[in-house]
Chain A
Amino acid sequence: MATPVLEKTEPAGSASAASPYITVTFRIRRFNPEVSAEATWQDFQIEIDPKERVLDGLHKIKWDLDGSLTFRRSCAHGICGSDAMRINGKNRLACKTLIKDINPEKPITIEPIKGLTVLKDLVVDMEPFFQAYRDVMPFLITKDTNEPTRERLQSPEDRERFDDTTKCILCAACTTSCPVFWNDGQYFGPAAIVNAHRFIFDSRDDAAEQRLEILNDKDGVWRCRTTFNCTDACPRGIEVTKAIAEVKRALITRRL
């Protein structure tokens, strides 16, 4: 669906020979039920330094061209998990993706992450995602009746055992890149399993059994078909598929 292309409003001089700026087209999936029940594509042309982030491009559009463009963001350097979106068909954080790394010659397509209800433009309803997270009991559970006065001891090796899954920033890039989740929103999804893994393999925790039982559910780990989309999508470099496999293995060995 064709929509008007907005003219650039970059500072004068940006076209000079020494300028690092290039012209890039952002093709953005727009949706605002206050305006129309249908989603449309809209093109924006901006002048941008290819070393800048996709998030910088979105800001240029919002700040200089169209204030109604809506997306979430906060930290702008990949640690808060606000701005997962589908960029050229892949889930990424807009603040961790540089223009030069995604072929700016062609229009850059930007859509909301898939499988969650779109509320406006790139903003989706994250509640089902967080509900799945909360359902795996993502907190330390210990049996000791009287609290120790000092810290619980944990060896560096035991600490290392679950290090990878502590890095999760709950951005949902993994879960919303998973074909199983797209087909059936009831599936817990990789992020919830990653966060269960973080406690199941923590030597201080005593509730692995309960969490494994939750994930043994029909909507649990067994739905995973090991497509590795989640691992590819994770901006924190977490080996998501491996974590899921370890949870599966724990379920099997537990039963043996």
Chain B
Amino acid sequence: MDIQIDMISQEHMREMTTMEKIRFILDEVQKGKIVILESGLSPDEEAKLIETTMLEIATGDFTGIEIESYPPSHEKSGVLGKIFKKTPRSRLTIIGPANKMKTIKKDHKLISAIIMSKADE
């Protein structure tokens, strides 16, 4: 079983527009890849990602995405984060195809994802 993982740096994310990010994520995930974003999406981008995912489920065999981010959005990381409440925090986000990935455990400190091979399905 080959699983390809794409890691996208914060710098790279910053250069992309919202739709470019969403298109990139959904194209990679629909190829069966797992995408890890060094810094996550804004709440608005998250909503657009869910919306676009739904449009693509409705038109094909795609069944959607698993998406998890760490740390939780409300945790203000670092000293700056504590002083300026609105400072953008980096949130590691992992996104994969729903039919291949399942989150088995998640809390404030840990995400474990399980990747299923075709044989397990």
- A and B pair up: no
Q: Residues on B close to A: CB < 8 A?
A: none
